[in-house]
Chains A and B, each alone.
Chain A
Amino acid sequence: MSVPTDTRTDTSSTSRPGASSGRAGPAGHDHRTARAAARAEARRRRLPLLPALLFVIVCTQVPFLLTIWYSLRSRNLLRPEGDQFVGLQNFADLFIDSTFRTAALNSVLITLGCVAVSVLLGLGLALLLDREFAGRGVVRTLLITPFLIMPVAGAMLWSISLFNPTYGLVNWLIGLIGLGPVDWTSQHPIFSILVALVWQWTPFMMLLLLAGLQSQSKDVLEAASIDGAGPLKTFLFVTLPHLRFYLELSVLLGAIYVVNTFDHIYLMTAGGPGTASANLPFYIYQRAFLGFDIGQSAAMGVVTVIATIVISLLALRLIFRSINSKEQS
């Protein structure tokens, strides 16, 4: 996938020492050699970039072009004879597929829910950690651990152990205050997935936001307190604007990762009950690897990518602007 772009704000190439500059020669061939030299220089500069660029293009763009090709054909691995060009039929089928709509909605719900809750919790924890106290290093270390646990292990820990309806720790805890046992992953599948995801992603948000809080200059905070601003006012009018870049970054990076959530759904609910908790990655996987319906799953992949492009185009511009403005400051 390549996102079209018109950001041609390459100012850096002239500011660095050693940039080739066309020498102003009086004769025409001087000019030509200068141009040839500039071209050679450009080629020399490009050389170290090419292996990485080609590698990524071959591994991501070529398969995606094939996905588009598959999406126009009726290929099904179970029926090898049925492979023919069907135009946009696969896409037309998508729009009457209610499971596809549910999956798309679940994708949005899981991504928004997880990112919003983890950013808020992460902000709270970052504020708690942004002060000196006994054992601060230990608290920080304990708090980041959920993010470091292998996601497959985390998902299974929640679904099999903690959320287990008969011997799970969560049901035992709510039993202490008199609430009946709940079969979490089948009665509240999306909630269960969200809990496991928020548990995993809150430390990530906390780390980024804590870095933001600690990059705040102490002089500004002192000045605010001398000017008579209380802690709340200081937070709202000094800290929060400073954190804006870090908040944007956490939301965007979090969304990029969470929107592709697959492990948790596969292992905790298998998209169930029925298809109630399937998101797009899981539903596409199901159609491709359990239904072997390549044409249909490819069409879903293409639609997902188009939707992602539209959203990420907006998001990427934002991330680019904030990272660039940060570099310049």
Chain B
Amino acid sequence: MTAVAETTTAGRTRAGRHAVVGKLLTGLAWFAAFIFFAPVLWMLLTSIKQESDAASSPPSFLFSPTLDQYRAVFTSEAGAYFLNSVIATAVSTLLVLALAVPAAYALSIRPVKRTQDVLFFFISTKMLPVVAVIMPIYVIAGQIRMLDNIVTLIILYTAMNLPIAVWMMRSFFLEVPGEVLEAASMDGASLMLTMRRVLIPMVSPGIAATALICVIFAWNEFFFALNLTAANAATVPIYLMSTMTSEGQFLAQLSAASVLASLPVVLAGWFAQKQLVRGLSMGAVK
């Protein structure tokens, strides 16, 4: 009797200690989330301040919020930059998918010889430092009068994202069960038909995940945009930078512009967290 009682008390205290540790860990997780999110929060706060509150010392936490900065961004020339970003991102992502889906098919479902070598080549181009090729690209683009042209950015963003997209799409194709393909080919369906009716619907979540990753990288790209564009084809990251170089008070407006510039990717990433993981690991992590 006593022995049983003793063990249950011991069990209860252990359970009690367990609960305390659990609460501590939960608190720690919330604290870490706050620390990592705090800079974003500060950016949000700064974006609804007047410039004088934004650059006050000590930092002001109590102020009358205003949407003036957002209004200022909307009435500035930002629209042209956003339009360029949307065009470069959307067109390059569509191009990537059009090229990557067939290529991934040729590396998975009906593989070419030396599939491993081709995959190796694709991923090795991601290790090529961009700075090592920027000069020839700049010179060539200048010679064929393609500097400050959105088409140049589209081509480069496509090349930049294509290797990742091929890897990702391949990992999705590899998950299509062999029996499905066999059944389709026994029914005498042609390749195009199998592709359209069977394969593409089955890997459409994969296509969405691939598109998400391409959109993120193209939307955020800075180096090519900085070196190859000027007044006509400049994208959002260049706009953010240009708000800084104007002398005087700009911090609150810069924050508002940063919030607007980051919003599309932040929202997409929040709602597609699972696809994000898979995409970032190029399909390796399911």
Report A's interface with B, CB cutoff 8 A.
1-3, 5, 7-10, 12-13, 16-18, 42, 45-49, 51-53, 55-56, 59-60, 62-64, 66-67, 70, 124-125, 128-129, 131, 133-136, 138-154, 156-158, 160-162, 166-169, 172, 175, 199, 202-204, 207-208, 210-212, 215, 246, 249, 253, 256, 259-260, 262-263, 266-267, 280-281, 284-285, 288-289, 294, 297-298, 301-302, 304-305, 308-309, 312, 316, 319-320, 323, 326-327
Measured between alpha carbons, how far is A272 from B56 in the docked complex, in Å? 26
Contact A153-B240, Cβ < 8 Å, known A148-B262, A215-B286, A281-B129: yes
- Contact residues, B10-61 vs A (CB, 8 A): 22, 25-26, 28-30, 32-34, 36-37, 39-40, 42-43, 46, 55-59
Nearest-neighbour CB distance to chain B for A43, whole angstroms, equals 10
Q: Does B67 contact A (CB under 8 A)?
A: no
**Which residues in A have their C-beta under 8 angstroms from that of B172?**
none
Q: Which of A149, A253, A285 contacts B131 (CB 8 A)?
A: A285
20 A-B contacts (beta carbon < 8 Å):
A5-B117, A8-B114, A17-B181, A49-B112, A56-B125, A62-B136, A66-B136, A131-B25, A146-B37, A149-B43, A150-B261, A160-B254, A161-B255, A162-B42, A168-B59, A202-B36, A211-B285, A256-B126, A267-B241, A284-B131
Contact A204 B280 (CB under 8 A): yes
Q: Which of B1-9, B69-77, B154-162, B200-208 contacts A (4 or more CB under 8 A)?
A: B154-162
Contacts of B265 in A (CB 8 A): 148-150
- Interface flag for B87 (CB, 8 Å): no
Q: Is the CB of A53 within 8 A of B103?
A: yes
Which residues of chain A are near B145, meaning CB under 8 Å? none
Of all chain A residues, the one with the shortest Cβ separation from B23 is A133
A-B contact count (CB 8 A): 327
A144 touching B134, Cβ below 8 Å: no
A55 neighbours in B (Cβ, 8 Å): 99, 158-159, 162
In the bound complex, CA of A154 to CA of B254 (Å): 11
Out of A16, A161, A262, which one reaches B110, CB within 8 Å?
A16
Chain A residues within 8 Å of B132, by CB: 1, 64, 67, 284, 301-302, 304-305
Q: Is B230 at the interface (CB under 8 A from chain A)?
A: no
Nearest-neighbour CB distance to chain B for A185, whole angstroms, equals 13
Q: How many angstroms between the C-alpha atoms of A284 and B110 in the bound complex?
A: 42
Q: Please tell me if the beta carbons of A10 and B162 are within 8 angstroms of each other in the complex.
A: no
Q: Are B116 and A10 in contact (CB under 8 A)?
A: yes
Which residues of B have CB within 8 Å of A3? 120-121, 124, 127
Partner-A contacts on B (CB < 8 A): 22, 25-26, 28-30, 32-34, 36-37, 39-40, 42-43, 46, 55-59, 99-100, 102-103, 105-107, 109-118, 120-140, 155-156, 158-159, 162-163, 166, 174, 178, 181-182, 185, 216, 219-220, 222-223, 226-227, 236-237, 240-241, 244, 251, 254-255, 258, 261-262, 265-266, 268-270, 273, 276-277, 280-282, 284-286
